Amino acid sequence: MRTENGVEIQISSLKPRRSLLEVVNIDELRDVCEKFTCFTNAVTAILDLEGNIILETGWQEICTCFHRIHATTLFRCRESDTILARQLRLGEAFTVYKCKNGLVDVAMPILIRDEHVANFFIGQFLFEVPDKEFFIRQANEYGFDQSHYLAALSKVPIFSDDYIKQIMEFISSLVRTIGETGLIRRMLEETNQRLEQDIIERKREKIALQESEERLRFVLEGSRLGFWDWNLVTGEVNRNRQWAEMLGYSFEEIQSTMKQWEDSVHPDDRLMAWQSINNHLKGKTPLHELEYRMFAKDGTYKWIYDRAMVMVRDQEGNPLRMSGTHTDVTDRKNAEERLLYYSNHEPLAGLYNRAYIDVELSHAACGRRFPIGIIVGDLDNLKAVNDILGHAVGDWLIKSAGEIIKKVCRAEDVVARTGGDEYVIILYEIEAAAFSAVVERIRAEAKRFNQKQTGPTVEISFGAALAISDKELKETLKRADDAMYSDKRLRKNLNNS
């Protein structure tokens, strides 16, 4: 207890201002800033609230060799720092100032637990191409070597306003995270010391921990996250209700073993999932983070985003406890698969599209699956059918032609619709004798199909060419296309006669 103006004050209730140096590993922070400077060529500095420099990186030559040497320009530099700091003290979340020397400085407060502990500066850059005449006048006024001064000016980076905002938000979040981590670490150390000295404090911490776990449980339930906690010493795994319900199980059906999880993971993903976990357990990765499939109780599978990390290690670094969360990302994965499907397929017949064929041919040219046969087909009289019978009948013809072609082709053959009435077929590792028979088999299948129809029939003109090596592949497509048009003219003449 102490007394001020006749009022007794409890000393333990006073909350001293927190210092950044108390909670942040300054070497780690300096390493981050130096790498940032290396990547962006931007100057960084962190000053405490009294204006003392905690760290600085990458000062521009124009400042160190010119502005910071002359008394007038040095005063302007300090004036810039003062103005920025004053604006932050007034509650500004982000402030930009163009100093009288012509360069731009930006400052943002560093907050830890919403407490302003220091200021982060990025400076000595420009928002636009510099006014060369301004700097020439400045060089003449203060006796700077003009050529050297302009050379130093050319090294000053130019950033956009949006880019600076993104940088400041990233750095602020990073420093906050480092500070929060250090603060938590320090609080834990202090707690452990108190626990060794005072059993009452130990009970208090136990109660606080229970409350924290209860809050965590409420958060997990509200966010619908499945939680799992693995004791690597006993092998026991605790999971919450959401973990079970995500896969269609009741909470009572959960087993406290890793085997239940392993058996639920899709066999094709099981090895990958274990590798990710083991890499993190061995310290090769900062966390286990993976998307994989898990079977639900009804036999379907769901895509799960699994994110976890080791929470406790012993003095030798061996993992003792690992905790993580499961998120159901099935809807997103299905949407991605649909997007991928429609980027490679045309919607009417469900065949590959022109874009896919272009990529496939470029890959084929680099492969070893020769000989490669290419067939180009084109529906006859589609325009007349659309004009007379309507587009619904024309669409039926397009789909029917695609089904006929796919029925004849092998599973590994690529069948695409590359235009309104045009088809392309790529046949890998096919010999000339087998290749020459493919078109006839398609025509025979079309004939059988047409015999069952009372309306319009599927009539297709074809051209085919075979490539023995990658040098012929591009020309092979053109030869097949030319052959198709020759076949179309021949069929038209025969029909007319």
Q: What is the pLDDT of residue 4?
A: 41
From CA 430, how far away is CA 316, in angstroms rounded?
Answer: 60
Tokens 């297709």 correspond to 460
Helix (H) or strand (E) holding 321: strand 319-328
Q: What angle do CA 70, 83, 174 make, to 5 degrees?
A: 105
Q: Please, which residues have CB within 8 angstroms of residue 429's CB and are 6 or more apart in sequence?
A: 369, 370, 371, 372
pTM score, two decimals? 0.46
The residues that bridge with 125 in the sheet, in sequence order, are 104
Homologous superfamily of domain range 224-334 = PAS domain (3.30.450.20)
Q: How far apart are CA 179 and CA 235, in angstroms?
A: 34
* H or E stretch covering 267: helix 267-281
Beta bridge partners of 416: 352, 424
Q: What backbone torsions phi and psi does residue 380 show, to the nearest 5 degrees?
A: -85, 140
Q: Is it true that the peptide bond before 371 is cis, omega within 30 degrees of 0?
A: yes
Q: How far apart are CA 151 and CA 94, in angstroms?
A: 31
Q: Tell me whether domains 20-184 and 224-334 share a fold.
A: yes
Give backbone dihedrals phi and psi of 458, rounded to 5 degrees, phi first: -85, 110
The CATH architecture of the domain made up of 20-184 is 2-Layer Sandwich (3.30)
Which amino acid belongs to residue 94?
F
Cα(401)–Cα(175) distance, integer angstroms: 63
- Categorise residue 143: left if φ over 0, alpha if ψ from -120 to 50, beta otherwise: left
Reading the block at residue 276, the tokens are 């990710």
Annotated domain spans of the chain: 20-184, 224-334, 349-496
Residue 119 β-bridge partners: 47, 109
Per-residue pLDDT 10s for the chain (497 aa) are 444 444 343 333 334 456 777 777 788 788 888 888 887 777 888 888 877 888 888 888 898 899 888 899 888 888 887 887 777 777 766 788 888 889 988 888 887 777 788 888 888 889 899 999 999 999 999 999 999 999 999 998 888 888 888 887 777 777 677 667 767 777 777 777 776 776 666 666 666 556 555 555 554 455 568 889 999 999 999 898 889 999 999 989 988 899 999 999 999 999 999 999 999 999 999 999 999 999 999 999 999 999 999 988 999 999 999 988 999 999 999 999 888 888 899 989 899 999 999 999 988 888 888 999 999 999 998 999 999 999 999 999 999 999 999 999 999 999 999 988 999 999 999 999 899 899 999 999 999 999 998 889 999 999 999 999 888 888 999 999 999 999 999 988 877 76
Find residue 308's DSSP bridge partners.
288, 324
The architecture (CATH level 2) of 349-496 comes to 2-Layer Sandwich (3.30)
DSSP bridge partners of 108: 120
